[in-house]
Amino acid sequence: MALGYCASRREAEGWIADGRLSLTDGTVLEDDPRIEPARLKADGEPLDPAPLTLILHKPVGFVCSTEDPGRLVYDLLPARFRRRDPVLSVAGRLDKDTSGLVLMTDDGQLLHKIISPKRKVEKLYQATLARPLRGDEAAIFASGTLTLQGEKTPCKPAGLRAVSDDGKQVEVRLTEGRYHQVRRMLAAVGNHVETLHRAQIGGLDLGQLGPGDWRALTEADLKAIFAEQVSKE
């Protein structure tokens, strides 16, 4: 394994023999010297960092789990990412009919930090409802007493507000990650979610990423994930 990828020594030697490895100045490697990863390129591209964390704008129709039927979010990424060891895991899955911000990482500690309820990392969702809000739903969400069907423990306090004049466009802010939580919470107050989009995790948003686009996170991005949480403590 090298730089987060599984490869046999023979495969690595094959890359050198085929001229696929070069230095940043364009010099093609002809042997197996000890070179800093930052100076290497594979197929003309800089090597991916290890560990690797990326942000993806998931379109509707893609699934986050290999156990679910349908096109995988991994299909939106370079094929080489499937060979990483440890594998890239989704930090907070979205269902097939939900679009928006997905974080993927092979950093186990970071993954746990993002999804742990103790960290209280807030997620912002934008939803289109079948019917306008009645007016009492925000108080119910904020009360910490709303219990979902089939569960015994009530949801933690969450934010809900209308963002359109007709009351059908709403924003929901959660610090939990229960199964289909936004849809189920709104169903519990007598409404139905027609479209759902995750716009933000912590202080990180999609920026200019279009559906299906992705990019590796910078150190500033990683800090932004927890920025809003820190500001509230």
**What positions carry a catalytic annotation?**
95
Q: SS3 letters for the chain? A: CECCECCCHHHHHHHHHCCCEEECCCCECCCCCCCCHHHEEECCEECCCCCCEEEEEECCCEECCCCCCCEEHHHHCCHHHHHECCCCEECCCCCCCEEEEEEEECCHHHHHHHHCHHHCCCEEEEEEECCCCCCCHHHHHHHCCCCCCCCCCCCCCCEEEECCCCCCEEEEEECCCCCCHHHHHHHHCCCCEEEEEEEEECCEECCCCCCCCEEECCHHHHHHHCHHHHHHC
**Sign, CA torsion 69/75/77/83:** positive
